[in-house]
Amino acid sequence: MESKIHKHLKTQSLYWLKAKMTDLCANEVKLFVHRKRFKADALGINLKRKEARIIEVKATRADFLRDDVLHSDYGYHQIVDYAYLMTPVGLLSIEEIPKGYGLLEMDEYDNITVKKKPVRNPKPLLTLETLIKRTGRAATNAVLYQELSKETKDKTDGAFSRGAAIHLISATCPACKKRKKYLIQVNQDEVPCQARGCKNIIPLSKARTHIITSYNKNFYKQINSLMNDKSKGATTDET
C-alpha cells in the first residue's frame, strides 16, 4: 500500500515537472521496455525541446535499495532524456545516486531543490512519440478516475452491502442525458427518469449505471428504529 509521504512526493513531483516541462505531465505512466513492465512515478514532456523527463520517487531507503530498475539496462535513465530521483531531505547522499540520474530533495514546506543535475541520455530507448502516447493515456485515465470517484464514492464504505436488497445507483437517461441518483431493488430492470420534464423509462441493463452503495435489512431496521425513537421523543415533548 502506498504511504502518505510517497503519494505526497509523487504529487509534488508532478507540479515540479509541469513547471519544468510545460506541455504534458502525468503520474503513474505505464511503460514497456524489453518485455518488462513498470510505472514511472511522474513523466513530463516538452514538445518544443522534444525531450522527456522521469521522476522516480523514493520515500524510504528500503524503497531505494530494492529498486532493481534503477541499475538495469532498461532503467528510467535509459528510456528518456533525463531522469531524477526525488526524496525527502537527507534520505540519500549524492554518492549513492546511480550514474546519470539527478537528485531532487523536498523539505517539510514542499520546497524542491535540485541537489544533483541529471546527465542527458543521447539515445533514449523509447521514442518521444511512444512517451507522448503513454503519458497522455495516463493523464486521461487520471482525470476520468477522479470524476468517477466523485460520482460513485461510497461514504458508507459498504457497511450495509452484505445481503443487500437495495442499491443506490447513478444512471444516465438516454433521452434527456441527465444523470441522477436512484434507489432501486437489486434485480430491478428499469427506473423512471427523475429529471424535470422527462418521463422516459431508463432500462438499467443498457444505461450507463454505477452502484454507489447498497443497503440490507439491517440498515432498514436501524433507520426504522431511529425514526420510531424520534417519533416517541416528539410525542413526549407535546405532552
Q: How confident is the model at residue 53 (pLDDT cuts 50, 70, 90)?
A: very high
Q: Which long-range contacts (CB under 8 A, 24 or more apart) does 120-125 make?
A: 120/81, 120/82, 121/77, 121/78, 121/80, 121/81, 121/82, 121/83, 124/52, 124/78, 124/79, 124/80, 124/81, 125/33, 125/34, 125/74, 125/78, 125/79
User: Each residue of 4-39: pLDDT tens digit?
Assistant: 899 999 999 999 999 987 799 999 999 998 888 889
- pLDDT for res 107: 94
Grid cell in block for residue 105 = 530533495
3-state DSSP call for residue 165? coil
Q: How far from each other are the two terminal CA atoms of the chain, in whole angstroms?
A: 57
What is the pLDDT, as a whole number, of residue 135? 93
Q: Show the cell assigned to 209.
A: 449505471
- Higher pLDDT, residue 16 or 149: 16
Q: How many helices (H) and strands (E) does the chain have?
A: 5, 11
The answer to whether the pTM exceeds 0.75 is no
How far apart CA 79 and CA 40 sit, in angstroms, is 11
Question: Any residues with CB less than 8 A from the CB of 81 and at least 6 apart, and which?
Answer: 51, 52, 53, 120, 121, 124
Q: What is the mean pLDDT of the chain?
A: 89
C-alpha–C-alpha distance, residues 123 and 145, integer Å:
34
Q: What does the pLDDT read at residue 40?
A: 94
Mean pLDDT across 113-119: 97
Q: What is the pLDDT of residues 185-231, one digit of tens each?
A: 999 999 999 999 998 999 999 988 888 899 999 998 998 999 887 66
What does the alpha-carbon distance between residue 219 and residue 231 come to, in Å, rounded to a whole number? Answer: 18
pLDDT digits (tens, 9 = 90+) for 158-198: 888 899 999 999 999 999 988 899 999 999 999 999 999 99
